[in-house]
A = this chain, B = another copy of it.
Amino acid sequence: MKRIRLIIAYDGTNYCGWQIQNNGITVEETINKHLTALLGEEIAVIGASRTDSGVHALGNVAVFDTETKIPAEKISFALNQRLPDDIRIQKSEEVAADFHPRFCNSTKTYEYKIWNSQFMRPTERLYSYFVFLPLDIEAMKQAATYLLGERDFISFSSSHTQVLSTIRTIYDIAVEREGNMITIRVSGNGFLYNMVRLIAGTLIKVGLHVYPAEHVKEILEAKTRGLAGPKSPARGLTLIGIDYHEESEKK
């Protein structure tokens, strides 16, 4: 028996998110189905990030245990032959039997993309959120700085969060413009439900001068749901990757 870790990229447009549910096809069930067929064992992967409906990923992580004789690093290629073209395994490797993608310490990085122009560019529409009015990027940058560090982010979470603690640490948050595309890139040790989309929606309001940058500090300190946001659309959000700390690789 060995434990295999997959790095998974997907275009979330046509999926009801990562986690198996009743009302539509999910990334998790699609991977389970094709892994089960490939390996001839009943496989149920454990995913790191249960991305929402419509959210994309370049590097989500999942693990499963298998008796297969296929070399770990070949599983990616074999599985990609079977998967639909909006899901692609980027890497497969053997990891320690105690590696768990959710319980091991990690840094997750997300990007939220905003197309800020009078006219949407159709070839960007699936992977960014269209904002017509010009955004003040300097104000957004300033507002973002209030979110840095270890904080109680309950103000930036949706109500059906079921977590023991709403304290998270944001290591880095950057707001950058390249042409009409604004990217909010945020790294942290974890994110509450809808946290990045609520941050994006709040920074957009700052960028529109609906309220000043300092108001983000007040929202955070209020520790109350409903002040932040609105939640920006899923299509702008991409899970870039997950780095695991102090990992005990199986050698």
Contacts and interface: CB of A to CB of B under 8 A. Distances in A.
Contact of A123 (B9, B89, B91, B120): B9
A238 interface: yes
Interface residues of A, number: 25
A189 interface: no
Contact of A122 (B77, B87, B119): B87
3 closest Cβ contacts across the A-B interface? A11-B122, A86-B122, A90-B119
A202 interface: no
Contact of A119 (B89, B123, B127): B89
Interface string A164-179: 0000000000000000
Interface in A84-101: 85-91
A125 B90 contact: no
Count of identical protomers in the assembly: 2
A119 B76 contact: yes
Interface of A: 9-11, 56, 58, 76-77, 80, 85-91, 118-123, 125-127, 238
Contacts of A89: 119
Of A9, A56, A77, the most chain B CB neighbours within 10 A belong to A9
A10 B89 CA distance: 29
B9 A56 contact: no
11 contacts: A9-B123, A10-B122, A56-B123, A58-B121, A58-B123, A77-B118, A80-B119, A86-B122, A88-B119, A91-B119, A123-B126
Contacts of A10: 122
Contacts of A86: 122, 125
Contact of A121 (B77, B88, B121, B122): B88
